[in-house]
Every structure is written in C-alpha cells, then in structure tokens.
Amino acid sequence: MSLSRRTLLAVGLGGASLAAPRIALAQAGAGRVVIIGGGFGGASAARFARDHFQQLDVTLIERSRSFTTCPYGNLVLAGRRDMASITFGYERLAARGVRVVHQSAAAIDPAAKQVRLGDGAVVPYDRLIVSPGIDLRWGAIEGYDEAASARMPHGWMPSLQPISLLRAQLEAMPDGGVFVMAIPDNPFRCPPGPYERISMVADYFKRAKPRSKILALDAKGGFSKQPLFQDAWQELYPGMIDWRGVSNDGRVTRVNAGGMEVETEFGEKIRGAVINIIPPQMAGRIARDAGLANQSGWCPVKPVSFESTQVPDIHVLGDAAIAAPMPKSGFAASSQAKQAIACIAASLAGRPLPPAVYFNTCYSHVAEDYGISVVGVFRGTAERMIEVEGSGGISPRNATLTPERRVEHRRLEAHYADGWYDSITDEMFG
C-alpha cells in the first residue's frame, strides 16, 4: 500500500483532487490525515481512524520498518524477555488501509499544509498528527554526548540505541560491581520507567550477581509510585538498592565516559562498573523545527483536541506534547490519539468536538510476579487538563492489604501488565 516517490510527488503537485481516493472524497467529512511517527501515538491514531472513520485518508510516515517499544524494555534488561518479543512491524496497519511510507519526515510547511520527506517527496495534508517522541538533550549533562552514550548507555530511545546494549554490559559485569544510574528531573518520558529499571536490574542481580549493588542518582526529590517501589525494594532486594534524591546530592551534572565516572552537583565523583545515564529530554526534532514547541522544548496543545496552540491544523501527541497531569506514557499517547482522530473527523465534517475524556494506566514490574500500577482518568477543557477527583491513583500499599491478598494483588498486576502489553500492541500492530 505504500506509495512510490513518483506518486507522492504527483500528489503534491496535483493538489487535493489526486490526493485521496475518489471514494473518500465522495463522503462527507472526507480529508487527508497525515501522521508523522509510528509509535504509540501515531500507530494508535492510524488504527482508530481506519476502524471508525472510513472517510479519512490516512498516511503514516515512519522512517523505520519496525518499532521496538520502550515498555517491556526493562524486562529485556532483566533477561525476562527478548528483543523480538518487543518489536513489531507495520504490515497489518498497511493491510488495514493505512498508507505507510517508510521515509523520514524532513520538514513541515504549515502554510502550504504539506510534509517534505527525506527523499524530497511532498505529502499534502488537511490535518497533520505529529507524534515524534523525544530527543535526548546531548550536553545537558556535561560530557554526555552520543559518543559517550556508547560507553554509558541511555537505553531510553529504542530507535537510537537498543536496550540490548545495556543488557550486554550488565551481563559482562563481574559479580560485586556497582550499577550507577542517573535519572533526570521532570518532565521526561515514562515517569516510573527508571524505577522499574532499578527493580528489573535488581531482579537480574539477585539471580545472577547477588553481591552487586545499584546506586540511583536522581535529579528529583520524589518519583512515581515511590512508596510502592520502595516497599518492594525493601521486601525483595534488601541492601541492594541505594536511591539518592536531589536533596542528597543526587543530581549528576557531568560524566567522564573514558573513566567510567559521574560527578554530582556538589562535586562527588562516583565510579560504576556499568553506568546508565537517562539524560534530560525534549520533543522530537520535527516538532521543534515546525515551531510546535515552546521555550520548554515541549509542545503546548489544546486539552480538548491535542491540536497545537501554536500552529493550526496540527495535532501533537504523546511524549512530545505538554499534557500534564497526563504522564508521558504509551497508554496516554494512545488515548490522546483516539481523541485527536475523533476531533479531526468532527472538524472536517463541521461537527462539534467530542467531550475529551482521557485514560492512562502505567504498570511497572518490580519482579516477574510482582506488579504495581498507577491509574488516571483525565478531562480536557478549553482551559486545562484535569485529573478526575477521587479516581485513579496507585496500587494499595503493603500495609493496607492482608498478606495473602498482597501476594495475590502484586501477582495479578504483573499478569495484567502482560495482558495490557499484548492488547495495546495488538491494537497498534495486530
């Protein structure tokens, strides 16, 4: 179903009449929806559009032919999953009628309403969805650039660096080594992710390298699901994990990749056998280049539709968008995608926008059979995004559960996490 360069050029020069199949144009509310980025936001948007809005002509621009998820990368790190089990292709989306174009998006021209691809072809749109994920802020931590990340992996952007690199370093590490992590301040991709990573590395060490230690240096004073993680660390990995918050000199400001050493704000130098730097982040390049980001590096959007507040007819989804209190998570991106598509369909048909209700659940594995979660239901109004009072929140703490119920609750949440992963990836790629 993918178009050749020649066809796309013809579409670009020929204008709207050639762009969409005649059948689509004949329908009310028809229009060309172009999606940049085939991750949780983009792939979910494409699928939802095909399932519910046949009048929309959908093109997905994604450089890569496969997508490796960030979720469950930490289980690869622990040796509980392999890379193949978290990697997906776009064939099924194409079979559902999405025009999948494996090219990079070089530039967006909002005035002409078109996207220029890496090979020079031009794709016109009526509404554009930009779901580019994140870029890493190289140099925000002094000395941490792309070259340094080969020695001190980030493991935070599967498209840039497979999690298997960090896994290989952990496997090569002698028992008794110290695994050092640097964790950024908010906002960043996947708020509970670093702490799931601590847990899953501990799970691996406990089985394979029990004398090893984990030192987590955090630029924040607190973190997502903190009481649940810390209860579990004490219960499952006593004495193995040392988490230092910002008030305890936890912020890493400099690295020396050659010397395998990090330096904190107040000048303490710490060596590690394996070092994982999760650097500060910003919206993906294409979004910043198109003027979608503000001075924070992230993209402000209207809470009702995820349309950019800075450029009309472009919706920004997922990690790149400013959606707080919604977290930067895959599930959140998928929820935003459905709302954005419904809003696009409504606006093309001249109908009022649907009410904006968003949903997120983030599961984290603390051990293979020990899962915890945070849930949120959100509503977008013209002014702001709000979390519904009295709903959502984290799993109950140990102290509030009977011992039997506690074991069952954690086991079930680990199991449901696997179910969530199967369901949401099946929706995108199945």
Partner 1 sequence: MIPRTLLTLSLLLGVPAWAQAPDANLLAGACAGCHGVSGQGGHGIPSIRQTQNIVEFISAMQAFGANRREATVMGRISRGYSEAEIAALARFYARAQ
Q: Which is nearer to partner 1, 16 or 388 (CB)?
A: 388
> Is the bond leading into 325 cis (omega within 30 degrees of zero)?
yes
Piece of 57-65, 177-185, 257-265, 418-426 that binds partner 1 (CB under 8 A): 418-426
| Cβ atoms 147, 136 nearer than 8 A | no
Which of 96, 265, 377, 398 forms a contact with partner 1 (CB under 8 A)? Answer: 377
Piece of 54-62, 138-146, 147-155, 357-365 that binds partner 1 (CB under 8 A): 357-365
Rounded-to-integer distance, Cα 180 and Cα 216, Å: 6
Rounded-to-integer distance, Cα 12 and Cα 306, Å: 26
Name the residue among 204, 192, 242 with its Cα closest to residue 413.
192
Give min distance, CB of 375 to partner 1, in A: 4
Which of 227, 291, 300, 392 forms a contact with partner 1 (CB under 8 A)? Answer: 392
* Sign of the four-CA dihedral 61, 64, 66, 68: negative
Question: Is residue 336 left, alpha or beta, with left meaning phi > 0 and alpha meaning psi from -120 to 50?
Answer: alpha
Size of the site for partner 1 (CB under 8 A): 46
Piece of 76-84, 210-218, 237-245, 358-366 that binds partner 1 (CB under 8 A): 358-366
Which of 118, 391, 397, 400 forms a contact with partner 1 (CB under 8 A)? Answer: 391
* Binding flag, residue 364, partner 1 (CB under 8 A): no
Give min distance, CB of 240 to partner 1, in A: 27
Which of 267, 350, 352, 403 forms a contact with partner 1 (CB under 8 A)? Answer: 352
Rounded-to-integer distance, Cα 286 and Cα 296, Å: 15
Q: Which is nearer to partner 1, 316 or 374 (CB)?
A: 374
Name the residue among 95, 189, 80 with its Cα closest to residue 134.
189
Residue type, 55: Q
Piece of 125-133, 265-273, 314-322, 348-356 that binds partner 1 (CB under 8 A): 348-356
Give min distance, CB of 56 to partner 1, in A: 14
Question: Which three-class secondary structure state does DSSP give residue 334?
Answer: helix
Q: Which is nearer to partner 1, 128 or 340 (CB)?
A: 340
Piece of 71-79, 84-92, 254-262, 329-337 that binds partner 1 (CB under 8 A): 329-337
* Binding flag, residue 168, partner 1 (CB under 8 A): no
* Binding flag, residue 211, partner 1 (CB under 8 A): no
* Binding flag, residue 384, partner 1 (CB under 8 A): no
Which of 195, 298, 420, 429 forms a contact with partner 1 (CB under 8 A)? Answer: 420
Say how many CA atoms lie within 13 Å of 148 toward its Cβ: 24
Name the residue among 198, 236, 242, 243 with its Cα closest to residue 220.
243
* Binding flag, residue 400, partner 1 (CB under 8 A): no
Which of 123, 129, 287, 342 forms a contact with partner 1 (CB under 8 A)? Answer: 342
Give min distance, CB of 391 to partner 1, in A: 3
* Binding flag, residue 50, partner 1 (CB under 8 A): no
| Cβ atoms 125, 102 nearer than 8 A | no
The pair of three-digit structure tokens given for residue 297, joined into one six-digit string: 């590096």
Which of 281, 339, 347, 364 forms a contact with partner 1 (CB under 8 A)? Answer: 339
| Cβ atoms 292, 130 nearer than 8 A | yes
* Binding flag, residue 96, partner 1 (CB under 8 A): no
Rounded-to-integer distance, Cα 301 and Cα 60, Å: 21
Question: Is residue 169 left, alpha or beta, with left meaning phi > 0 and alpha meaning psi from -120 to 50?
Answer: alpha
Residue type, 310: Q
Give min distance, CB of 395 to partner 1, in A: 7
Which of 46, 86, 316, 356 forms a contact with partner 1 (CB under 8 A)? Answer: 356
Which of 220, 328, 365, 409 forms a contact with partner 1 (CB under 8 A)? Answer: 409
Instruction: Report which secondary-structure segment, H or E, holds 352.
Output: none
Rounded-to-integer distance, Cα 140 and Cα 161, Å: 19
Which of 93, 361, 365, 406 forms a contact with partner 1 (CB under 8 A)? Answer: 361
Q: How far is CA 104 from the centre of its chain?
A: 19
* Sign of the four-CA dihedral 237, 239, 243, 247: positive
Query: Which residues contact partner 1 (rule: CB under 8 A)?
Result: 48, 51-52, 304, 331, 334-335, 338-339, 342, 346, 351-352, 354-359, 361, 373, 375-377, 379, 381-382, 388, 390-393, 395, 409, 412-413, 415-416, 418-420, 422-424, 426-427
